[in-house]
Amino acid sequence: MKNIFLVFSIFLFVHVHSARAYADDGYRLWLKYNLITNQQNLDEYKQSIKAWLVEGSSPTMDAAKHELRIALDGLSGSTIPEVNSVNGDGVLLAAAYRNSKLLAGIDLKSKLEKAGSEGYVILTSNINGKRVIIITANEDIGVLYGVFYFLRLLQTNRDIANLDVVSFPRIKLRMLNHWDNLNGTVERGYAGFSIWDWHTLPIYIKQRYRDYARANASIGINGTVVNNVNADPLILTQRYIVKLVALASVFRPYGINIYVCANFDAPIKLGKLKTADPLDPQVRQWWKDKVKEIYSLIPDFGGFLVKANSEGEPGPQDYGCTQADGANMLAEALKPFNGVVMWRAFIYSYDPKDRATQAYEEFKPLDGKFEDNVLVQVKNGPLDFQPREPFSPLFGSMPRTSMIVEFQITMEYLGQGTSFVYLAPLFKECLESDTYAKGKGSTVAKVVDGSLDGHSLSGMVGVSNIGADRNWTGHPFDQANWYAFGRLAWDHELTSEQIADEWIHMTFSNDSDVVEKIESIMMPSRENVVNYMDPLGLNMIFGYDNHYGPGPWIDYSPHKDWNSTYYHRADSLGIGFDRTATGSDAVSQYYPPVAKEFASLSTCPDNELLWFHRVSWSYKIQPKSDQPLAERSGHTLWDEICLHYYAGVDSVRSTQRAWNSLEVKIDDEEFRDVQMLLEIQENEAVWWRNACVLYFQTFSKMPIPDGLEKPDKTLQYYESLSFPYAPGTW
Ligand code: GCV
């Protein structure tokens, strides 16, 4: 009996462990290149791609070769040979046009003109009577981007029979910003410590750095700011510059330029000068020398990102100068090397009137005063990466200034590391907002891609959600947000659905049931979180400083605009921030058609209601004429707030049910990870709902509508919770 038990145990051990050997730890992101399981697609692809050839040699072309080799072998489950001539039908040829002998007879002039310096052309064609698939571009980097595009077609099981593609990026600077500190922590990071191991650089080059570059190139990201905007000046010392040199050489073949956040006081802290006054000749010279030193070692260094006079960081205003004076000093130093300055407009100081109006008040008058290698970097909304904000009124208001939009990919205010939230709808909501700066159709996207005002310098930056966790982003679904950010920076016209569809195919499965089900839970996921955190335009009601969990009662910060009560203004009469002419008049910072829409209670979208209006608890939500009848409310504001909070929790529960139904259809490890995270999220959603409803009820004095489950804990209980070790609050 003992023996039988032993044999059974060994069997179980072997069985369980051999099954785990196939488990997916998420490291390969969307570049898994697993065997194509649809036999028909596999046969067709094998027929179309019998061999591959990369013409020309350079580090970038070597990267293209590497990618084709691992991808084609992985996807086909066999070895697709590399050849050195088009010796038969079915060769996949990748080459930069100007270096290619094989493409010399094919006229691609107009397509290549359209593709520009980073774009690519892919087409099915003939060389010497042999059928080929061509991936070409003006520059090697375009070829690499084209290779990734082509591989995506295979990964997502698309038709490759008659290809005729020209693709180019809409936006020039497509960047990540890591809020990584030099001590290895990550501000607002929820995926472990920093991926940069500053201690072992420059000698030890982790494979992860290369895989980071591959992943970014695969979605067209071409710049990375490696350190926190709350910048340690040490990054500018020789000791760190040599480490940057090492990273830059890993990134270079993948078309990624390195940038750093500069501390404005570096001339004092490193250069031992008495001042960092941007008009002081010695200070200007210090920056010029520093920039020269960097470029002598990193010739393709991108430039500086600066957070100045914001949240305690030093800046030009410390010396009575303007933000433009500060930016221009750095711009002057960088200009001879084609470097740029990204100067953040995220500034505020305590103002009882309205924090949300300050960036506009400060920066709008500076339009036209910045050097042409400065981009003003504006967060998507006027406050600070809330789950929902209206777009910042700075977009469209500074036509003589290049702009870069800043999104937060890491989810500081969206549930952090435990939330299932697909961010493409949030990014798109901002990009598609119409500023009306030059009449209808003047979208934020057109401002940031430079087309509205004819700027060649344009940009989109995402605060990275990447850390040292094995799967890079902590929550497996946060990979989708990195992916979506890059895809939209390349082409902001892609829809959220298209991007989700690609990512699911590449990450989970090509099974259409799985794709549909996952897409159906990704698409509403951001709105779900808005519902249970801060519906109807509420905002900034988070736990103090850690921004995790509800804290609408926070009222003790000496920094009054860090208090939740500053934002929701609830009392016995009502709730919300009056930003119309009777209040802070923030609406007047928008162009008239937008201002008019936001200013009127009858046209202001419900989802921005309490952002712009102070409303009584018994106010009946006005049915909007463009809403389908079924959605027209007519409820009191109080009931509507409750219904949103409850709907948020319900939707997390339905996400759980949908996810559970996928159990046998996707990788076991990823399935369980998400399942457990959803369980945590459900607890968090209930916590948010109960805490907020109980707190606001102390003012409304109205009952929770009938039929809704009642909170099982008291408001005092929720207020007593504290999170001294919350991640990301370094
Ligand atoms: C890097 C918010 C965050 C800070 C962040 C700041 C910024 O205030 O809470 O952690 O600092 O934004 O964007 O500079």
Active site residues: 311, 384, 412
For residue 30, count other CB atoms closer than 10 A to its CB.
Answer: 22
Give the chain's mean pLDDT.
Answer: 95
What's the rounded Cα separation, in Å, for the pair 438 and 450? 13
Q: Using the mean position of ligand 1's atoms as its centre, give its distance from the Cα of residue 265 in Å.
A: 19
Q: How many helices (H) and strands (E) does the chain have?
A: 23, 15
437-447, pLDDT tens digit by residue? 999 999 999 99
Task: Reply yes or no on whether the pLDDT at 476 is more than 50.
Answer: yes
Task: Reply yes or no on whether the pLDDT at 140 is more than 80.
Answer: yes
Q: Using the mean position of ligand 1's atoms as its centre, give its distance from the Cα of residue 463 in Å.
A: 10
Type of residue numbered 323: Q
How open is the CA angle 556-560-561, to the nearest 5 degrees?
125
pLDDT classification of 350: cutoffs 50, 70, 90: confident
Whether the Cβ atoms of residue 648 and residue 531 lie closer than 8 Å to each other: yes
446, exposed or middle or buried, with CB in 10 Å at 0-12, 13-18, 19+?
buried
Residue 10 confidence (pLDDT): 47
Going by C-alpha positions, the residue among 408, 331, 393 that lies closest to residue 363 is 393
Q: Rounded to the nearest 5°, which phi and psi values hold at 530? A: -55, -45
Q: Using the mean position of ligand 1's atoms as its centre, give its distance from the Cα of residue 317 in Å.
A: 19
- SS3 annotation, 672-692: HHHHHHHHHHHHHHHHHHHHH
Pocket test for ligand 1, best of 178, 181, 188 (most atoms within 8 A of CB): 188
- Give the CA distances from residue 566 to residues 415, 571, 576, in Å, rounded to whole numbers and listed in that order: 21, 12, 10
Q: Which residue has the tokens 């290779």?
A: 147
By three-state DSSP, how is residue 418 classified? helix
Whether the Cβ atoms of residue 187 and residue 230 lie closer than 8 Å to each other: yes
Contacts of 363 (CB under 8 A, 6+ apart): 323, 345, 376, 394, 398
Task: Reply yes or no on whether the pLDDT at 21 is more than 50.
Answer: no
49-104, pLDDT tens digit by residue? 999 999 999 999 999 999 999 999 999 999 999 999 999 999 999 999 999 999 99
What's the rounded Cα separation, in Å, for the pair 525 and 422? 6
Residue 573 confidence (pLDDT): 98
- Going by alpha carbons, the residue nearest to atom 14 of ligand 1 is 229
> Could you tell me where the DSSP H helices lie in 219-280?
238-251, 266-269
- Give the CA distances from residue 656 to residues 220, 221, 414, 518, 651, in Å, rounded to whole numbers and listed in that order: 33, 33, 18, 11, 9
Type of residue numbered 391: F
Q: Rounded to the nearest 5°, which phi and psi values hold at 331? A: -60, -40
Pocket test for ligand 1, best of 190, 227, 228, 311 (most atoms within 8 A of CB): 311
Report the nearest atom of ligand 1 relative to the CA of 547.
9
Range 452-457 average pLDDT: 97
How big, in percent rounded to 5, are the helix, strand and coil portions of the chain?
45, 10, 45
> Could you tell me where the DSSP H helices lie in 78-185?
109-115, 140-155
How many residues make up the chain in this entry? 730
Q: Which residues line ligand 1 (CB under 6 A)?
A: 179, 187-188, 228-230, 307, 311, 346, 384, 412
What's the rounded Cα separation, in Å, for the pair 561 and 559? 6
What's the rounded Cα separation, in Å, for the pair 479 and 191? 11
By three-state DSSP, how is residue 32 classified? coil
Q: Using the mean position of ligand 1's atoms as its centre, give its distance from the Cα of residue 54 in Å.
A: 44
528-584, pLDDT tens digit by residue? 999 999 999 999 999 999 999 999 999 999 888 999 999 999 999 999 999 999 999
Task: Reply yes or no on whether the pLDDT at 22 is more than 60.
Answer: no
What's the rounded Cα separation, in Å, for the pair 492 and 484? 10
Report the nearest atom of ligand 1 relative to the CA of 187.
10
522-540, pLDDT tens digit by residue? 999 999 999 999 999 999 9
Which residues are bridge partners to 375 per DSSP?
Answer: 342, 402
Range 307-325 average pLDDT: 97
Type of residue numbered 701: K
Whether the Cβ atoms of residue 105 and residue 152 lie closer than 8 Å to each other: no
Residue 20 confidence (pLDDT): 40
Report the nearest atom of ligand 1 relative to the CA of 228.
1
Range 201-229 average pLDDT: 98
Whether the Cβ atoms of residue 288 and residue 296 lie closer than 8 Å to each other: no
Q: Using the mean position of ligand 1's atoms as its centre, give its distance from the Cα of residue 411 in Å.
A: 12
Report the nearest atom of ligand 1 relative to the CA of 307.
14
Q: Using the mean position of ligand 1's atoms as its centre, give its distance from the Cα of residue 566 in Å.
A: 18
Report the nearest atom of ligand 1 relative to the CA of 545.
9
- Going by alpha carbons, the residue nearest to atom 11 of ligand 1 is 230
